[in-house]
Structure 1
Amino acid sequence: MIEKTLLLFFALTLPLAAAALDGRVLDAQSGQPIADAQLTVGALVVRSDARGVFRIAGAPGKIAARAPGYRRIEQNVAPGKPVEIRLAPFRAKALYLSFYGIGDRGIRNQALDLIERTELNALVIDFKGDRGMIPFKSSVPLASEIGALDITTVRDIRELIATLKQKGVYLIARIVVFKDDKLANARPALAVRTKKGGLWRDREDLAWVDPFREAVWDYNIKLAVEAAGLGFDEIQFDYLRFPDAESPVFSQPSTERGRVGAISSFLAAARKALAPYNVFIAGDIFGYVSWNLDDTQIGQRLDALVQHLDYLSPMLYPSGFRFGIPGYRDPVAHSREIVGLSLKRAGERSKVSPLRFRPWLQAFRDYAFDRRVFGAGEIREQISAAEAFGSDGWMLWNPRNDYSSAGLKSEPSAAR
């Protein structure tokens, strides 16, 4: 009797165990296969092969898909039938809006007007800004406990996201990770310390949290999951690094191996938590990381970062290249070369598609050299260099959210 029961059990479960979803991922415009696309069912993620082919065990009713250079999608699938997934090509061309900028109706409407009139099609929005503040009433308990919600600039984040989505705007949630004055002051045990034991502060008199501390990882990952659940297309981690100073003291020795390991471990944990949301993951990196063979003393090394990020976003502001680059010692006079050669160098060293890069470009006045205004010429030179490299779009940074159409093509982007 027992043997018959077991045979019946295996007979009933075998077809279910053997069931699988076969499919192929194609470019919606060219019809060409897309290699290394990510297909997500729940927390399970598989990748397409060189022919765009994939197989997922089981018979899911819905599948999500994404690949750098394309819009992400979700698609219903019929059990037992091969599925064809077509991804629409997309290049994000974004403006940054700060903690205060996203909540100011005038600033926000000016940005949306530029999106309507020019090639822009995306916004990078402070989800957690440079001072550790969050612009809306986050549901993450620690955010409220440490005072990160003391100032509300966005009353209804869901309504705002819905409005922006209706306009076809690609949404990127910027989360400042290890520069967090609110968390450091409220939880000193998690903070970077001075050699005398006090809170270490940077040139802006802001405290940082220790990148070795898993409690810090957990807080930022919970915020990232919240952003993904709200509908952001991409999570962008900024200040994804150790402080660029020699004096701070951390909970572990600050060796290159340790620093790179901490950043990589945080990103691996974030990627795992975000897997069910089919959201792109990006990281902002120092411009000189494209050139340096070590971790630039901050834990950022291309070979490690590329393993965990969909997009690498080097900050290629000419004003930030205080030592220039080989052959160009006056970076603000050579915007095109700074952007183009830095991307070329990063692409050669990382050996990944140019679509894995989306650089930050300078849209603010120079502060380090001759104080020149970065107007139409400088902005267009940077954009042209990024596009010639083949990057997945670009992002304009102005900390005051002071943007114009200077340097931008007037025709609206076809990919909305």
Structure 2
Amino acid sequence: MTWRCACRLAVAALSFLAIGSPALAIEGSVVSKVDQAPLAGAIVTSGTQTTRTDASGHFQLPLSNGALAVRAPGYERRQVAVAAGPEQPQHIALAPFQPKAVYLSVYGIGSGALRDAALKLEDQTALNALVIDVKGDRGLIPYLSALPLASTIGAQKVRTISDMPAMIKLLRQKNIYLIGRIVVFKDDLLATAHPELALHGADGALWHDREGLAWLDPMREEGWRYSLDVAEEAARLGFDEIQFDYVRFPDAAGLRFAQPNTQANRVAAITGFLNAARKRLAPYNVFVAADIFGYVLWNPDDTAIGQDINLLVQAVDYVCPMLYPSGFTWGLPGTPNPVEHPYDIVFRSLQKAKQRTGLPGSRFRPWLQEFSDYAFDRRKFDGDEVQAQIEAARAAGSNGWMLWNPRNHYGSDGLPCDDGGCPP
């Protein structure tokens, strides 16, 4: 053997030891627990490796850590230990699940009175989920965060939850599905602390919206990192779903952006952020969702805010349109006064979403209105209006629904009961 051959063999041996043997491939199928029907498009993860099932529910991917994480829209997520060895095909059944939630803000989740009232409704009605602010409308994070930037910019100046892991443990014991809401580009704290990441007006000054809050420039990718870090922290804490809100451009004119303010650039920024979020969160097997304007389901363009329905559905598990009748200030064809027809607004909008995307209703979960009208006749949205919206969402086949009340006050009127019936 020449010295050159010996050197090659030595290098090869060292490389093998450094890299290790390749991960073994594992295959299997994902089906519905109800009828054993194959689930196409289910997401299967092992370590950082992710794949989707084919039309027959089959998957194959490298097994990197002895476990598989599996989820599919409309079903519960699961973690499966691979005990029989990778040569044994895995047959994984997922149980159908539809979240039915109310929203609790940074202050709502920290208020014993508001939180207990919501939990009482969870016990007495079909409610089975909570949307909880992880990063709220004014940039606050309600629990002790390990992110240095959160403290630096003032996101920790008010902490309403003393022990978030204990809170999550308590809610999990009640079998509550947990959705972590993260407000992304409307972040006054980060934009003020780092104006180089913020939106500016035509005069070059920091721009503020009608609430007096500064926004990040969605076209600056360096501004994405903080929200992605918050999302990963929430996934580690144990949330079932990460839901991004204000993942859009502001509806304002005359602003300066890092790139030309074209529809292509706006859409690329929003879908780029959501794709980055999906990639970052892949190891945690959490569902990824995005809140969008109701009119986005109807408009053929990006509604000038970067939200294109046909691209959004490719980037997230769930699209969550805000179908508040009061939000449809220009009405809909044949419905000039939406607050008089809450059922029609919700049902027709979800039907339009399915028609335009070719996707089933299980990929959509609407926000519904439980607050007084502000755009038409100032009517209250009580039990009848809430019930009409819920029935519309159910008829359209959506993946559950979520109720929004900015004051976090919810009543039982209009809410469906669970299988055991409502208490007297």
Instruction: For 1:15-414, list aligned pairs within 5 A.
Output: 17=22, 19-58=24-63, 60-77=65-82, 78-411=85-418
In the TM superposition, what whole-angstrom CA distance separates every residue of 1:331-388 from its partner, at most 9, and x where no partner exists? 0000011001111111111111211000000011111111111111111111111111
- Counterpart-to-counterpart distance in 2, 1:76 and 1:196: 58
Q: What is the Cα-based RMSD across aligned positions, in Å? A: 2.2
Q: Which residue of 1 aligns with 2:3?
A: none
- Counterpart-to-counterpart distance in 2, 1:161 and 1:333: 39
Same amino acid, percent of matched pairs: 54
* Cα 1:184/1:32, change in 2 over 3 Å: same
Find the residue that maps to 1:361 and give its secondary structure: strand
- Counterpart-to-counterpart distance in 1, 2:284 and 2:64: 19
- Counterpart-to-counterpart distance in 1, 2:169 and 2:200: 42
Q: Which amino acid aligns with 2:352?
A: R
- Counterpart-to-counterpart distance in 2, 1:97 and 1:258: 33
TM score, norm. by length of structure 2? 0.93
* Cα 1:402/1:4, change in 2 over 3 Å: closer
In the TM superposition, what whole-angstrom CA distance separates every residue of 1:164-198 from its partner, at most 9, and x where no partner exists? 01110000000000001111111111111111111
Moved over 6 A (4+): 1-12
* Cα 1:291/1:79, change in 2 over 3 Å: same
TM score, norm. by length of structure 1? 0.95
8 A contact 1:115–1:121 mirrored in 2 = yes
8 A contact 1:115–1:412 mirrored in 2 = no
8 A contact 1:37–1:52 mirrored in 2 = yes
How far off its partner does 1:2 sit? 8.2
- Counterpart-to-counterpart distance in 2, 1:263 and 1:411: 37
Number of residue pairs matched by the alignment: 413
8 A contact 1:282–1:312 mirrored in 2 = yes
How far off its partner does 1:22 sit? 1.5
How far off its partner does 1:248 sit? 2.1
Structure 2: runs of 5+ lacking an equivalent? 1-5
Find the residue that maps to 1:107 and give its secondary structure: helix
How far off its partner does 1:7 sit? 11
Find the residue that maps to 1:386 and give its secondary structure: helix
- Counterpart-to-counterpart distance in 2, 1:128 and 1:394: 21
How far off its partner does 1:239 sit? 0.3
- Counterpart-to-counterpart distance in 2, 1:134 and 1:7: 50
How far off its partner does 1:251 sit? 1.9
Comparing 116-125 with 202-211, greater Cα deviation is found at 202-211
8 A contact 1:25–1:86 mirrored in 2 = yes
Q: Which amino acid aligns with 1:167?
A: K
8 A contact 1:99–1:126 mirrored in 2 = yes
- Counterpart-to-counterpart distance in 1, 2:203 and 2:209: 16
Q: Which amino acid aligns with 1:63?
A: L
Structure 1: runs of 5+ lacking an equivalent? none
